[in-house]
Structure 1
């Protein structure tokens, strides 16, 4: 069968190709450029626990060496600290230059036998039929490509989106930020800062640490103000450092600068037959602390397992449609929350006048966006195809599962997220006490033989895992987890017929033309 064609080799395109490879699906990655990235420390990304775990699973090794986890998060208003958040109970956000993320993903893709990289190759046209997609390109050694599917990860000016005739409405220049990457000693080593309404200067400043004493500083600018000259930027830097360092500007080494403009746009459609959009080709966001790259990584993780199921054994149109249904809905909710919150946060009228203590409310909302929480930043919850929740747990159906230690089939104990993205559903049995026993001693005892038979009989590949505990779940709870780590269903004990029905709902039914098969009877 033909590989999947991925257009665009930024973080999202590279992640999608690697995610497909994890599911055993080959891809061709069309890169319009030479396959190299200019180092730009002032252009960085923040990854939270789910996306950082995904990138690590894909084989990216730059997170450890070139990323910095926040030691804490500070919020200041005028000259006073109003809040300080530590990360003792959950992982801190990871901050790293975007070029480092891209380089690490590209190295992993270049080493993977299922990923073919084609540089200096620009897409010019595409045609679809019932069996696949033909893409014609210029540059490089090949001028046409044949694929089972095609995914446009080619950015805000997406050629794929234009060729498909998909509209991209939204708002232009929602926010502007002057940005600088510099090396300096600040009073709070390793701690990120949100400074609202400082005594002078811009309305809002953020400082986020990078390794080796480097910081990224952002200054909120008027939406349609004057151009930021080099002299004006140097004045911003000196005044800000003096504000934070007792009135005098400490020594600093300016490494990189820029002006970043955030737009809010959402493509009308994310699927056209066998062609799909992902990342900035499908959506633009980034105001109020939201992370556009991170949402693109979630696009890739959601789409990869669905394309893989279609590639290996066929999938229903409903499953392929669910990519747009789930991801577009999640991003639209994020954009809607930002649009509704903007008057509160940016000093306008309307909602601000209705909120008591509006300054502190605004800081809380912004903090949520930066730290991946709440409507501006929280991880998505997808509406499950079947709401089976016989046993309540701390994870609602459709939400991301907790990263608990589990016993893998080889007997090792690993975090649950390490086993995602391998083309299989995960069936997790909560069995207190099993963590202290060797797997071979309990794999054939109690509920395990019947549950193992039920898992083997499911309509899609699945893997049986065991956990000593899961948040909010009593003993003998069975959880059905999608390949992208979202909870599909929970059961009280071994329920083969119901488990089969839930797995069939996860795949949105049998592929077109394939008769549905009843759940097998398991004694």
Structure 2
């Protein structure tokens, strides 16, 4: 079967190709550039814990070597501390902050060691043709030629050529937020803590300033600008840096200015994410970033969601409901994020009596913004595919646990088939369902003593009989689950269903629903336009 064609060699395209390779699917990555990215220290990304774990699982070493996990989060308003959160081992999970060029370089290094991925540089797409058996594209550049693939994924950014060739509209809002940005090396009073400072008291502070640490004493500072204001000159930006450091430190400390920039954030959502064998992912499908939301984080979730579905189809035959579920799940999740941001913007950014006089308004605004930056609430929490077309029908044996169906599972410690211990996240992304039994006490016994005891033989037989590949795991405990609860988990870590005890028929039915039903060589319906 032909490889999957990935258009675009940014973080999303590279992550998708690596995720496909981990599941035995070859890909060709068409890169219109030269295979190198210019270092821009002021251009950084924040990854939530689940997407950071995904990137590390794909072999990107730079997330450990060149990324920073914040020790805490601090909010200030005018001259006062409003809120402080402890993150990391002693508190809530910490996001990962890393320069985007370092992330891309780490993914490229991982691709270099992966024989199933081929990157072709200086290849700009200029035409696309689909038929019943695959997809053909033509590229121009030094090696202009035709390429043949089984599927194609456009990860080619906001000005996506794939999206334009498919005739997909990209409506939304322009210039939702503007930020002046500086990367600098200095010492601030809050080592390793990220800071959100609203209405700082100095003249050039504006309405909002954030400071987010990177390794080796480097900080990224962002100043919120009016959406359509005057140009920010280099002198004006230096004045902002000096005034901000003086306001925080009581005087301007020594600093090294490394990089600066002005970024304009847009909110857009493609009308369709799938046209037959062609898909959109990342900035080609959506743009977001206001109020702490993270566009690249969502793009990596696109790749994680789509990779296992393409891999299953590539190996086992076409399942149209499975492929259609990518658009149904991911577009709905991003649309909800955009709606939450658009609804919050007038409240958080608007002026007047509502913001000034409502009791508790400032604290509520701070919580909402913090959620956006740290990955909680409607602005930042991982998506829940509650209404997924892959959700199984309700069965009486289903039970509730601490994770609702469709949400990402908790990263508990599990025992794997060879008897060793691992984190649950380490078992994801391999193209198979995970069946996890909650069995208190198994951690203190050698595997040979419990693998043939109790419900294990019956459960093992049920897993072997499933219509898709699955791996049987055991855990001592899971939030909200009682002993002998069985959880069925998708390859991207989202919970399919949980059952009281071993229920072979219900488990089979849920696994069949999660794969989109039996594969079929003929598509039964066409993806409709979304109005």
What range describes the TM-score normalised by the shorter chain of this pair?
A: over 0.9
Q: For the structure 1 residues 484 and 351, does the alpha-carbon distance in structure 2 shift closer, same or farther, using more than 3 Å as the test?
A: farther
1:215-268 Cα offsets, whole Å, 9 max, x none, are 00000000000000000000000000000001x111100000000110000000
1:112 maps to 114
RMSD of Structure 2 on Structure 1 (CA): 1.3
1:420-466 Cα offsets, whole Å, 9 max, x none, are 00010000000111111222221111111111111111111111110
CA distance, structure 2, for counterparts of residue 107 and residue 121 of structure 1: 20
CA distance, structure 2, for counterparts of residue 401 and residue 378 of structure 1: 13
CA distance, structure 1, for counterparts of residue 447 and residue 25 of structure 2: 31
Q: For the structure 1 residues 207 and 464, does the alpha-carbon distance in structure 2 shift closer, same or farther, using more than 3 Å as the test?
A: same
Superposition map of 1:343-382 within 5 A: 343-348=346-351, 352=355, 356-382=359-385
SS of aligned partner of 2:479: coil
Please, which moves more after superposition, 262-271 or 133-142? 133-142
1:105-163 Cα offsets, whole Å, 9 max, x none, are 01101110110111111111110011110011012435111100000000000000000
CA distance, structure 1, for counterparts of residue 450 and residue 41 of structure 2: 51
Conserved 8 A contact 1:407-1:466 = yes
1:217 maps to 221
1:438 to 435, 446, 458: 446
CA distance, structure 2, for counterparts of residue 493 and residue 23 of structure 1: 30
Structure 1 portions without partners, runs of 5+: 515-523
2:487 to 479, 482, 492: 479
1:2-43 Cα offsets, whole Å, 9 max, x none, are 000000000000000000011111100000000101111100
Superposition map of 1:130-209 within 5 A: 130-141=132-143, 143-200=145-202, 201-209=205-213
Matched residues, number: 513
Conserved 8 A contact 1:344-1:358 = no
**TM superposition shift of 1:512:** 2.3
**TM superposition shift of 1:349:** 5.7
1:19 maps to 19
Q: For the structure 1 residues 159 and 513, does the alpha-carbon distance in structure 2 shift closer, same or farther, using more than 3 Å as the test?
A: closer
2:236 maps to 232
CA distance, structure 2, for counterparts of residue 496 and residue 409 of structure 1: 19
- 2:321 pairs with 1:318: yes
1:30 maps to 30
1:49-89 Cα offsets, whole Å, 9 max, x none, are 10011001100000111011111100000000110000224
1:242-300 Cα offsets, whole Å, 9 max, x none, are 00001x11110000000011000000000000000000000000000000000000000
Conserved 8 A contact 2:317-2:521 = no
- 2:416 pairs with 1:414: no
Please, which moves more after superposition, 349-358 or 36-45? 349-358
**TM superposition shift of 1:409:** 1.1
1:175-222 Cα offsets, whole Å, 9 max, x none, are 000000000011111110000011133100000000000000000000
SS of aligned partner of 1:463: strand
Conserved 8 A contact 1:29-1:116 = yes
Structure 2 portions without partners, runs of 5+: 523-531
- 2:506 pairs with 1:502: no
2:528 maps to none
SS of aligned partner of 1:133: strand
CA distance, structure 2, for counterparts of residue 366 and residue 303 of structure 1: 29
SS of aligned partner of 1:427: strand
SS of aligned partner of 1:386: coil
TM-score, with length taken from structure 1: 0.96
CA distance, structure 2, for counterparts of residue 115 and residue 354 of structure 1: 57
Conserved 8 A contact 1:480-1:487 = yes
**TM superposition shift of 1:348:** 3.8
CA distance, structure 2, for counterparts of residue 492 and residue 89 of structure 1: 32
CA distance, structure 2, for counterparts of residue 320 and residue 48 of structure 1: 25
Q: Which runs of 4+ in 1 moved over 3 A?
A: 348-356
CA distance, structure 2, for counterparts of residue 470 and residue 437 of structure 1: 18
1:276 maps to 279
1:460 maps to 468
Superposition map of 1:240-255 within 5 A: 240-246=244-250, 248-255=251-258
1:517 maps to none
CA distance, structure 1, for counterparts of residue 519 and residue 70 of structure 2: 46
Q: For the structure 1 residues 350 and 505, does the alpha-carbon distance in structure 2 shift closer, same or farther, using more than 3 Å as the test?
A: farther
